Structure 1
Amino acid sequence: MAAYLEKESRQQCKSQPAGFVDSFLFSCELSSKISSFTFKVDEEDVCEHILTMRLISLGDGVKDECNVIEVVCLDRDRNELSIPVANLKLSVQPMVDLGNFELYPPVTFRLKSGSGPVHVSGNHLIVTTNADGFRQEINQSVEDVPSIQLPQTIKDSSVTVIT
């Protein structure tokens, strides 16, 4: 993720064709020392960013206590939501598989209770959505469609409607 946030990497996104998808591993550690992590992207970025969460697991040296992890994100009306996504305890459930739980930045992961460490991992997908590349791709697709030639008998025939 850090590599993408560098300016050179962002420029690379602008040069990709529309619909191009790039994927990076994502991971953060939450503990009593660092209890939250916010994943955000530059607002001027032309690409769409999707964070797919896969696994939340307890780290090495964790106490046998409840560790509640919550996600803070925005709903479609841009209101902030806090949603607990995992309640992990070493002796009961040391990890949870979230499948491909999709989130759109900005997203904050917070260790609501417990001292951790808790590892949150998944994928950071970057989808190129620049309008110029998309228009260029549509124009090329239209040019590639062969024109249909109707046989002479169909062009010259008349249609009779029976009522």
Structure 2
Amino acid sequence: MDSVLERPSCVVWGCELNAQQKTFTFTAKENLLEHQLIIGTLCLGAESEDELNIVTLRSKNSTGNKPIPIASLRRSVLPMISISGIDCTPPVTFTLSSGSGPLYISGQYLILEEHSTSESGSEEP
């Protein structure tokens, strides 16, 4: 008898927000697999001005689908922040609502894939 298990596939992901590109939307393929974007780090670039940079997030699982501020960064005070516990379901839109960046966002893109195992426990191709 075969059983269906889920195994994660994880890819490092990142984007840049700046004065020319204030918004970035991460999308995933529409299929029956579960997709999650896990945010890890927000960091100002070395060439950023000493101004307040505010990043907001809007995702499929945001309350009321309203933008939520997730970071306020300033080069002289707090140029980088590591975040845990923000797992979003795509599509996810990041907006640089204040400041001109450049601001880099990185994290992990997680896809839960189904695969079958036989009764003996070995994986099928």
- Into which bin does the TM-score normalised by the smaller protein fall? 0.7 to 0.9
Residue matched to 2:112: 127
Question: What is the letter of the counterpart of residue 91 of structure 1?
Answer: S
Of structures 1 and 2, the one scoring higher in RCO (CA 8 A, sep 6+) is 2
Question: What is the letter of the counterpart of residue 10 of structure 2?
Answer: S
Runs (4+) off by over 3 Å: none
Query: In the TM superposition, what whole-angstrom CA distance separates every residue of 1:68-104 from its partner, at most 9, and x where no partner exists?
Result: 0000113378x41210000000011001110242111
Matches within 5 A, 1:21-60: 21-43=8-30, 45-60=31-46
Residue matched to 2:50: 64
8 Å Cα contact 2:27-2:90 kept in structure 1 = yes
Unaligned residue ranges in structure 1 (runs of 5+)? 1-16, 142-163
8 Å Cα contact 2:54-2:72 kept in structure 1 = yes
TM-score with structure 2 setting the length: 0.84
The structure whose Rg is larger is 1
Residue matched to 2:77: 92
More strand by share: 2
**Residue 54 of structure 1: how far off its partner (Å):** 0.5
- Over the matched positions of the two proteins, sequence identity in percent amounts to 33
Residue matched to 2:103: 118
Question: What is the letter of the counterpart of residue 116 of structure 1?
Answer: G
CA distance in 2: counterparts of 1:74 and 1:108, whole angstroms: 9
TM-score with structure 1 setting the length: 0.65
More helix by share: 1
Unaligned residue ranges in structure 2 (runs of 5+)? 121-125
